[in-house]
Amino acid sequence: MGVIAFEKMKTIIALCSAGVVVCLVLSSVAGVGVPGSTFSPQAFPELSAVRDQRLYDFQHKVPVSPLSIYHSYAEMTSLLFNLAANHSDIMTITSLGKTYEGRDLWLVKLSDNVAQEEGEPEVLFTGSHHGNERPGYEILIYFVQYMVEYYQNTSAVKNAIDTTEIYIIPMMNPDGVEAGTRKNQEPNHGSFGFSKTVTSIGVDLNRNYAGWWFLLFLRPLFYRSTSYHDASEVYRGPHPFSENETTAVRQFIEAHNVTLSIDYHTYGELIMYPWGNSRLPTKDAAVFASIGENLSRLDNYTSEQSIYLYPTLGDICDWMYATHHVLAFTIELGTVYAPENPTVLHKMSVDHTKVNLYICQRAQTLAEKR
């Protein structure tokens, strides 16, 4: 066994050992169980259909529809650069890094003094961690275009841009979008990176963030929405932040002071917040519930703690909240992965432009209390 492989094996053994110790300690404390152990699907029976279908989808590759009404990566890039050129006083576009296939991860910033760091509240919107969930990036393209074009004559837009630093990563997984796949396109060398040959393609980027990774070794059947098998549609990667895309997000978050965020996915018409690995409430449970309720008035979605859809590990929201105290939400758009009706997509975009404007407004009050 080589030095690198030996070090990887030591890391895995350490994770498993630490998991056993932590779980034994937690279970010995009265009233406290292993994170996630109190989950009960019966608590939200109205989610059973979505939950069952999504878990089924994870075991089968879902056919993805043609781009048709959706922008390709190249079309999105061209549009964003044109908008930045025409509205350079309030918009910039920069690259956070490159994917395995060499595509840039574009970051849009909207602010009145866009070239400066003003110390204003920061918000982050991300879309399409999963390449087959196309509305996630499409509604963010719409949001950017709406904001720059209505800045001068819409008070809500002007107030958001003048008082908030707004960051958007519209397409988190451009390789997956172009390939029509949930996962990215980086080759895997076995589930833990030990194989000399390529065994499968792609990592589920929204399972690749850090946090409680050891639990999957202890309860793989419980965390069915996450897998350490590289052929799985929900394969989390060989280790946290193994992928270029998630590493780029980590570096961005570490360099900023984001107050609120939304990560857009499909589907289920849900607004979700931490924790996804435990039924235990966060210390900001009341704030999460308040914001979720207000968002639901705008898009008529159901607001809930993430675990009530299904327990998961390694998602962006749990990591951002646990590590950087970002009040992070996931919104599951619509009722299918990629609706082909342009009217449905347009309404989704309009509704969630309102949602995003509310997040900018709420960031003001939250920042004052931090």
Instruction: State the Cα–Cα distance between residues 258 and 324, nearest whole angstrom.
Output: 8
Tokens matching residue 64? 């993805």
332 has catalytic annotation: yes
How far, CA to CA in Å, does 295 sit from each of 38, 80, 128, 269, 364?
A: 27, 27, 20, 12, 16
Instruction: State the Cα–Cα distance between residues 341 and 88, nearest whole angstrom.
Output: 33
From 233, 332, 340, 368, active-site residue: 332
C-beta neighbour count of 285 within 10 angstroms: 14
How far, CA to CA in Å, does 216 sit from each of 233, 304, 322?
A: 15, 23, 18
Residue 325 phi/psi, 5° resolution?
55, 35
Instruction: State the Cα–Cα distance between residues 51 and 221, nearest whole angstrom.
Output: 15
Ordered DSSP codes for 258-314: EEEEEEEEESSSEEEES-SS-SSPPTTHHHHHHHHHHHHHHH--EEEEGGGT---SS
180-202 burial string, b = 16+ CB within 10 Å, else e?
bbbbbbbebeebbebeeeeebbb
Tell me the residue type at 62.
V
Ramachandran region, residue 43 (left: φ > 0; alpha: ψ -120 to 50; beta: rest)? alpha
Cis amide prior to 275 (ω within 30 degrees): yes
The partner residues of 93 in beta bridges, in order of sequence, read 108
How far, CA to CA in Å, does 163 sit from each of 113, 120, 285?
A: 10, 6, 26
Tokens matching residue 75? 């079309």
Catalytic residues: 332
